[in-house]
């Protein structure tokens, strides 16, 4: 299975520039509060991705293993998806997840999605539109290649404001 991910990863990498993000290594706990567990269980995450992308499939599997209900929609036009959901170009990655009008761009760890759902990562109040892991950093969920890059989880607004909310 890892060989398949690596082959498909190279296909994805040709479409996107990997952003190197500096930061500090933090360990994000996977425990859920009752409110976070209820929020996770109450909504379905729709993930828009290329049918041939192995790292995207890896991220979907990560979400499922962490209790998220996921519906996959394969598409050949991810740019249109990102435009539809107002994903700023600087936040772009190889797939886009949408749940209850909130956007999860790229290889965002499930624990960070739970924190966002719980209101912890709303850096811009009601204007916070979602969180992202820009680019395709090695070591992020779905990008387990044996290498670990430093990366940030970034909260963003529809008008392009952004702020790092977690670092790995």
At residue 12, the pLDDT reads 39
Mean residue pLDDT across the chain: 81
Ranges of each domain in the chain:
2-167
pLDDT digits (tens, 9 = 90+) for 20-44: 222 222 233 344 444 444 444 468 9
pLDDT at 123 over 90: no
At residue 42, the pLDDT reads 61
Least confident of 7-11, 51-55, 107-111, 157-161: 7-11
| Interaxial angle between packed helices 34-42 and 110-117, expressed in degrees from 0 to 180 and rounded to the nearest 10 | 100
pLDDT at 125 over 50: yes
pTM for the structure as a whole: 0.77
User: Which of 62, 84, 60, 78 is CA-nearest to residue 70?
Assistant: 60
């Amino acid at each position: 299975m890892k060989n398949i991910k690596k082959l498909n990863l190279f296909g994805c990498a040709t479409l996107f520039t990997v952003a190197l993000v500096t930061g500090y290594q933090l360990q994000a706990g996977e425990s859920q509060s009752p409110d976070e567990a209820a929020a996770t269980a109450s909504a379905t995450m729709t993930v828009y991705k290329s049918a041939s992308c192995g790292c995207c499939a890896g991220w979907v599997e990560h979400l499922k293993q962490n209790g998220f209900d996921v519906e996959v929609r394969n598409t050949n036009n991810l740019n249109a998806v990102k435009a539809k959901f107002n994903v700023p170009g600087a936040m772009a990655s190889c797939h886009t997840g949408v749940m209850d009008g909130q956007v999860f761009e790229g290889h965002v760890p499930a624990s960070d999605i739970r924190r966002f759902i719980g209101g912890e990562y709303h850096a811009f109040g009601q204007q916070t539109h979602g969180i992202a892991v820009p680019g395709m950093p090695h070591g992020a969920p779905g990008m387990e290649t044996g290498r670990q890059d430093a990366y940030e989880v970034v909260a963003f607004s529809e008008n392009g404001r952004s702020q790092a909310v977690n670092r790995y």
